[in-house]
């Protein structure tokens, strides 16, 4: 999905860079989300906390870069047993009073992705489940390094989750066709939404 592969790689590198700073911060309301049941057999391959002293991240939009605030967060890679990673997941808590502006920036980013000429994405969708808003971008085929991008927002808890659902070589993934991928994707997204709603 055009530039999304580079975004995922950058996020994975940030996971490693943030690991050392993740160890000793006692105020950690996001930690329970990292232990959510993300779907049948889907488990955390790596977990790293957002680096302390980094209050925001940039997102690219049609009108230029915008900032998304980050009071705290985690970067995770999720995988099924004996497969390559299926999800690159960011869990973030917005800075106090910044959630509305953060949502505006993320919505602008995702609509910019969807409107890019030639981008292999199905129509951009905004859904709701268990009080959690879900923004969805899906590649309608199993092509490219990233098949789907989902952002889930819980206004009640001030939490934003961003999930990049990854493609892999057929021998290294749990799904072999789009219907199988879609079932795994939906199971994960709904499990994450439910966990965010109950946290």
Tens-digit pLDDT profile for residues 21-51: 444 455 788 999 999 999 889 999 999 999 9
pLDDT band at 151 (very low <50, low <70, confident <90, very high): very high
Number of domains in the chain: 1
Q: What is the mean pLDDT of residues 184-195?
A: 96
For 152, other C-beta atoms within 10 Å of its C-beta total: 23
Tokens 């302390």 sit at which residue? Answer: 52
| Residue 56: strand, helix, or coil | strand
pLDDT of residue 107: 95
pLDDT band at 120 (very low <50, low <70, confident <90, very high): confident
Q: Would the pLDDT of 56 be above 80?
A: yes
pLDDT band at 1 (very low <50, low <70, confident <90, very high): low
pLDDT of residue 123: 78
Structural domain for 95, as ranges: 4-22+30-198
Mean pLDDT computed over every residue of the chain: 87
CA 95 vs. chain centroid, Å, equals 18
- The beta strands (E) that lie in the chain are given as 43-49, 56-61, 64-69, 72-79, 87-93, 125-129, 132-138, 146-154, 159-166
pLDDT in tens, 90-111: 999 999 999 999 999 999 999 9
pLDDT of residue 26: 57
Q: How far apart are CA 175 and CA 148, in angstroms?
A: 14
pLDDT of residue 14: 42
pLDDT of residue 114: 87
Under 8 Å between Cβ of 189 and 162: no
pLDDT of residue 4: 45
Q: What is the pTM of this model?
A: 0.85
């Amino acid at each position: 999905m055009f530039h999304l592969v580079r975004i995922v790689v950058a996020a994975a590198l940030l996971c490693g860079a943030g690991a050392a700073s993740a160890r000793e911060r006692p105020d950690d309301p996001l930690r329970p989300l990292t232990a959510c049941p993300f779907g049948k057999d889907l488990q955390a391959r790596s977990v790293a906390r957002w680096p302390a002293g980094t209050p925001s991240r940039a997102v690219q939009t049609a009108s230029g870069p915008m900032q998304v605030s980050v009071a705290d967060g985690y970067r995770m890679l999720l995988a099924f047993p004996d497969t390559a990673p299926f999800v690159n997941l960011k869990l973030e808590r917005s800075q106090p009073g910044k959630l509305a502006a953060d949502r505006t920036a993320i919505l602008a980013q995702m609509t910019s992705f969807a409107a890019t000429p030639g981008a292999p994405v199905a129509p951009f969708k905004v859904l709701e489940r268990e009080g959690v808003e879900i923004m969805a971008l899906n590649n309608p085929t199993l092509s490219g390094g990233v098949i789907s991008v989902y952002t889930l927002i819980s206004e009640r808890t001030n939490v934003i989750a961003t999930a990049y659902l990854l493609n892999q070589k057929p021998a290294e993934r749990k799904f072999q066709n789009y219907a199988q991928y879609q079932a795994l994707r939906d199971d994960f997204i709904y499990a994450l939404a439910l966990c965010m709603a109950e946290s």
